[in-house]
Amino acid sequence: MKGIEAETCLRFVPRTTERDFITLFKGPGCYSAVGRMGNAQPLSLGDGCVFRGTIIHELLHAVGFYHEHSRSDRDQYINVFLQNVDPRKESRPPRVRNASSTRVAQPVPPSRRARA
C-alpha cells in the first residue's frame, strides 16, 4: 500500500467505521473484484501471492484498474501478430465494455513504473 501511495494520489487508511472497505485474506489464489463493490470487499492473497508486484496488482484491481489488454479501446493501440502466437494460447481476453478508459497525458518514466 505504501508503494502505491508513494507513486500515486491514492491513500489507504485503516478502517474505523467505514461501511465500504477492502479485507485482505489468505484464500485460494490471488484475486480481487475490480472497483468498489460495497461493504467488505475481499482481496485474496493465497499461497504464492505474497509478492510486492502481486499485491500491488490486486490492490489496483480493488480500486478500479482493469488490465491494459482488456481496455475497451485496446484495439486502437495494440496490434497482435497472430503468426507469432502459440495457437494453444491464441485466445484474446475480452474487452471491458461500458467502463471508462483514460489515456495518461504524460507517459510514466520507466524508473517510476511499478514492477507488477
Is the whole-model pTM more than 0.85?
no
Q: Does 69 appear as a known binding residue?
A: no
Q: How many CB atoms lie within 10 A of CB 6?
A: 8
Beta bridge partners of 40: 21
CA dihedral over 58, 63, 66, 68, signed as positive or negative: negative
Q: Is residue 23 part of a domain?
A: yes
On whether residue 85 sits in a domain, the answer given is: no
pLDDT for 75? 84
What pLDDT sits at residue 112? 46
34: exposed, middle or buried (Cβ count in 10 Å: 0-12, 13-18, 19+): middle
Residues serving a catalytic function are 58
**Model pLDDT for residues 16-60, shown as the tens digit of each residue:** 999 999 999 999 999 999 999 999 999 999 999 999 999 999 999
Q: What is residue 110's predicted lDDT score, i.e. its pLDDT?
A: 46
Going by C-alpha positions, the residue among 19, 10, 6 that lies closest to residue 61 is: 10
Number of domains within the chain: 1
- Domain limits at 9? 2-69
